A and B are shown apart, each in its own frame.
Chain A
Amino acid sequence: EAQVTQNPRYLITVTGKKLTVTCSQNMNHEYMSWYRQDPGLGLRQIYYSMNVEVTDKGDVPEGYKVSRKEKRNFPLILESPSPNQTSLYFCASKVMTYNSPLHFGNGTRLTVT
């Protein structure tokens, strides 16, 4: 089954404790992206990648890192999480054509205390 898999689904952590949210897709998509969803703000892009070893900042990259060492994986790293990073995070992927849709994972709900 074609899918984007994120782990974990739920994560509670404390300020400053480094964490990684994993994302993997099995559709051989070139493009991958991370979004955060907050009430009243919709989805905002954190980082994206157009291919292996090619990553770039989205609209809200502060406090996050990513890497793209393999085509299928695109982990999101929070080196020193803060409470304002409490949010619902989505990984997504697509092929690199203008009208192709994004395929989303089921989300990771992160709480930083």
Chain B
Amino acid sequence: GNSVTQMEGPVTLSEEAFLTINCTYTATGYPSLFWYVQYPGEGLQLLLKATKADDKGSNKGFEATYRKETTSFHLEKGSVQVSDSAVYFCALSEVYAGGTSYGKLTFGQGTILTVHP
């Protein structure tokens, strides 16, 4: 079955540091890949997505590139802020033949990021 593996957390950084959160996946079809962010006390929000190999998703200074050869979708940001402190989830949605998907997302275990001033 499908699975998503994220790097172990928690991750603690100082403001303006470079961030990488690793994500690798296993899927039998042609997945779309997502990063979601969860701020304290809230639900998950879509951060960025990529739907095919070599696509780069980007939003709010975060980037991730869909690497089919390494089955990875690592999240990066060049300079983190205190407001980026949150839990980050990598996820995949499988696309079946014909481009249809019933919409199930498979999530990684989440990575807690804390950014200090």
1/0 per position for B63-102, CB-CB distance to A under 8 A? 0000000000000000000000000010001010001111
What's the tally of chain B residues with a CB closer than 8 Å to chain A? 26
A residues near B108, Cβ cutoff 8 Å? 42
Q: Given A42-B89, A42-B109, A43-B89, is A98 in contact with B44 using a C-beta cutoff of 8 Å?
A: no
Whether the pair A99, B32 counts as a contact (CB closer than 8 A) is: yes
1/0 per position for A77-99, CB-CB distance to B under 8 A? 00000000000001010101111
State which size class the interface on A falls in: 20 to 34
Whether the pair A90, B43 counts as a contact (CB closer than 8 A) is: yes
A105 interface residue per 8 A CB criterion: yes
CB nearest neighbor in B for A40? B109
Whether the pair A42, B104 counts as a contact (CB closer than 8 A) is: no
Give bound CA distance, A92 to B36, whole Å.
Answer: 13
A residues near B49, Cβ cutoff 8 Å? 99, 101
Q: Given A104-B44, A106-B42, is A43 in contact with B107 using a C-beta cutoff of 8 Å?
A: yes
CB nearest neighbor in B for A4? B43
Whether the pair B32, A102 counts as a contact (CB closer than 8 A) is: no
B residues near A106, Cβ cutoff 8 Å? 41-43
Known contacts A35-B107, A98-B32, A104-B45; 9 further A-B pairs (Cβ under 8 A): A31-B103, A42-B109, A42-B110, A43-B44, A44-B107, A98-B95, A98-B101, A101-B49, A106-B41
Q: List 10 A-B contacts (CB under 8 A).
A: A41-B109, A43-B107, A43-B110, A45-B105, A98-B100, A99-B49, A99-B95, A106-B41, A106-B42, A107-B43
